[in-house]
Amino acid sequence: MYAVVMAGGGGTRLWPLSRPETPKPFLPLLGERSLLQRTVDRIVGHPELGLAPADVAVVTERRYGPMVRDQLAGVHVISEPMGRNTAAAIALATLRFPRDSDEVMLVLPADAWIDPERDGIYRSVIAAMAHLARGGSFGVDAPLVTLGVQAERPATEYGYLIPDVFNGADFEGIQTYPLNGFEEKPNLDRAGYLYSQAGVAWNAGIFLWQRGAIREAIDRYTGLMTMIGTVASSESGLKAAYDRLMPVSIDHAVMEGAARDHRVVMGSMSVGWSDLGSWTQLLAAIGGSGAGRVIAPNEPARAGEADLVIERQNGKLVVEAGPRDILAPSPVALLEGAAAAREPVDQLVARVAGWEERQ
């Protein structure tokens, strides 16, 4: 087995901590190690998976390559000319990180949270699903495996996996199902319905498949291999190809069609997962309180007595307490109800500000 970690840009929902020049995966949000480092720490050097740094490739935009190399010694860096979402990133990884066709590729986002107390469970799920991807299940010889997270509430910020619950099976202690389909982030009514359905799970964006199986699937359902396959080793040729690509996720480009063709299997896990995709989720992960949102530039808002405000003053991150008005030329984070547990917020901002000073 080997691993491909996708470390894209974005992180706009965590402005002003994250910025285009320093995206979320590279920041020390939960401790002194960045989210990218924690993702790799979680899978490398553990007997359950047997992965070394040389078995890991990080796919990132070219401008972030130096940060990856600085944070992770010994891993492979696959540079994209620009971000084009996960389908292009995974296709390029199959071309730029050659491994045996029947070897299992583990695909991970760089910026997810797993409860540290359940890291061992997380690795055991990955190990079991690697065996499934290699050996087959539900009559599929080389299935495309996706991991679903046990839903804890009717969330509208996550996509959902819809399994065939009437044909599930236990595989090495992991509940698995043939997958009927994917559903993008639903509205609240639809989220409530999905939450009420047995087996329906949040989509964690974690996959396992044989390298040859995903190459064949990408070729079958997309034109990506035709567009980038012959130019993958040429920087100028790859840039020209990426200029023509429309951003599309691996879910939409490949997995939806593969699920309709009964080629996808879902493994279930409950490991305290979060994608840390909002200030509210980040506050919960650091032991803070309240709910947070980003105030767009030049949008008026008001912070109350119980609120905190994170903004950049002369380029430096600062935390201020309400009450106060907000009207700024750059994004501001309004953390409603966060003043009751201010210390974790102050520590977070100090960590990120210190990291920025060292860059």
53-105 residue pLDDT tens: 999 999 999 999 999 999 999 999 999 999 999 999 999 999 999 899 999 99
Whether residue 133 is predicted with pLDDT greater than 90 in this model: the reply is: yes
The percent of residues above 70 in pLDDT, for the chain, comes to 99
For residues 127 and 24, is the Cβ–Cβ distance under 8 A? no
Dihedral (CA of 231, 235, 236, 239) sign: positive
From 254, 283, 235, select the one nearest 85 (Cα to Cα). Answer: 254
Residue matched to tokens 């595989």: 171
For residues 176 and 150, is the Cβ–Cβ distance under 8 A? no
pLDDT band at 172 (very low <50, low <70, confident <90, very high): very high
Spatial separation of the C-alpha atoms in residues 105 and 290, rounded to whole Å: 38
**What pLDDT digit, counting tens, does each position of 108-132 carry?**
999 999 999 999 999 999 999 999 9
Identify the pLDDT of residue 98. 87
Identify the pLDDT of residue 10. 67
Using alpha carbons, list the distances in angstroms from residue 227 to 193, 215, 238, 266: 40, 14, 9, 30
Count of residues in the chain:
359
pLDDT (average), residues 216-243:
93
Whether residue 9 is predicted with pLDDT greater than 80 in this model: the reply is: no
For 158, the 3-state DSSP assignment is coil
pLDDT (average), residues 312-339:
95
Mean pLDDT of the chain: 95
Spatial separation of the C-alpha atoms in residues 32 and 256, rounded to whole Å: 38
String of b and e for 170-205 (b: at least 16 CB within 10 Å)?
Answer: ebeebbbbbbbebbeebeeeebeebbeeebbbbbbb
Whether residue 184 is predicted with pLDDT greater than 90 in this model: the reply is: no
Domains contained in the chain, CATH given: 2-269 (3.90.550.10), 279-358 (no CATH)
Please give the model's pTM, rounded to 2 decimal places: 0.94
